[in-house]
């Protein structure tokens, strides 16, 4: 079952055009998109380049619709989540496209791909950034030095104060997967697990108020979840520079394979894999 995985495309038109071209040429059965799909700022220059007034509705969705028309029955199953740089006010656009069958929107959701359950989760632990739509406390209300609490910053959609104050990634993952046997499951998660080859940030030697910063910025809750539940495969993004710093785009926790498709350069980072033969997965900068 040939599959593609890409993440952190950040609204770069060239990356999407490359992805569409490769899908049309290779015809994978499934595509996984791991969040941070939209541009940071849909500025006037990008509007003029694309000739549209809105990125998701004017460029992204029409592009996938053209691909669906071109491929017909060969159009892949597409599973996607958003990421911490994607304003949640855009979620409704993605949900409408999902209702049209363009893709399957998976945040806090479950789907099936052959013998594999597929789960999606978009949230990350607190970051230094102001947009908090997709940020949660991790396992407690602790916030790393230099980061901004989920109770501060800004949100593009209203959220109940109790949820912001007491919701955690650990609690979300427990609700998402329940007691299901995950040995054949694929988990699409924007945040990588903590202290792996996938969550290494360029924070060496940096301090806030004399406190050294942790160079590993992944989720403790996600690491514990993987160690305890042992899904077949987890797919991650978020930390663009990790592969360059660690020299690895993949890792293992027990029997679980971990893949990272985030990339700090201009190219599209594309992971190709078959769930039945994960050892032979590859990553290409296209």
80: Cβ–Cβ under 8 A, 6 or more apart, which residues?
A: 32, 33, 34, 35, 37, 94, 103, 104, 105, 106, 120, 188
Low-confidence residues of the chain, pLDDT below 50? none
**Tens digit of pLDDT for each residue in 260-275?**
999 999 999 999 999 9
Strand ranges for 10-115 from DSSP E: 30-34, 77-81, 104-105, 109-113
Nearest to 273 by CA among 286, 261, 255, 262: 261
- 127: which DSSP letter? -
Its domain, for residue 224, covers 3-285
Task: Return the half-sphere exposure (C-beta side, CA atoms, 13 A cut-off) of residue 137.
Answer: 16
Give the number of domains in the chain. 1
User: Which of these, 110, 159, 168, 109, lies nearest to 131 by C-alpha position?
Assistant: 159
| C-alpha angle 182-199-94 in degrees, rounded to nearest 5 | 65
Q: What is the DSSP string of 160-196?
A: -HHHHHH-BHHHHHHHHHTT---TT-EEEESSPBSSS
pLDDT score, position 13 = 96
**Residue 30: predicted pLDDT:** 98
The whole-number pLDDT of residue 183 equals: 97
252: enclosing H helix or E strand:
strand 250-253
pLDDT for 49 equals 87
What is the CATH classification number for the domain harbouring 33?
3.60.21.10
């Amino acid at each position: 079952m040939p599959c593609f995985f890409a993440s952190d495309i950040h609204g770069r038109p060239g990356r999407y055009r490359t992805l569409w071209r490769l899908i049309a040429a290779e015809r994978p059965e499934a595509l996984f998109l791991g969040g941070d799909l939209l541009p940071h700022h849909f500025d006037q220059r990008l509007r003029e380049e694309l000739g549209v007034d809105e990125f998701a509705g004017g460029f992204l969705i029409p592009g996938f619709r053209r691909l669906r028309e071109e491929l017909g029955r060969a159009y892949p199953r597409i599973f996607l989540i958003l990421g911490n740089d994607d304003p949640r006010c855009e979620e409704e656009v993605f949900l409408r496209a999902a209702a049209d069958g363009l893709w399957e929107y998976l945040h806090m959701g479950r789907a099936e791909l052959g013998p594999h359950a597929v789960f999606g989760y978009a949230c990350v632990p607190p970051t230094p950034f102001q947009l908090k739509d997709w940020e949660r406390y991790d396992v407690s209300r602790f916030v790393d030095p230099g980061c901004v609490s989920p109770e501060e910053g800004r949100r593009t959609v209203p959220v109940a104060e109790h949820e912001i104050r007491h919701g955690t990634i650990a609690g979300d993952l427990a609700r998402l997967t329940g007691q299901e046997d995950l040995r054949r499951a694929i988990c699409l998660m924007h945040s990588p697990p903590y202290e792996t080859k996938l969550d290494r940030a360029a924070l060496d030697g940096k301090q806030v108020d004399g406190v050294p910063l942790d160079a590993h910025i992944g989720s403790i809750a996600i690491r514990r979840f993987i160690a305890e539940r042992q899904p077949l495969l987890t797919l991650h993004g978020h930390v663009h520079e990790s592969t360059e710093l660690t020299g690895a785009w993949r890792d293992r926790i027990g029997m679980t394979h971990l893949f990272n498709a985030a990339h700090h350069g201009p190219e599209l980072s594309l992971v190709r894999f078959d769930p039945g033969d994960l050892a032979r997965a590859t990553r290409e900068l296209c």
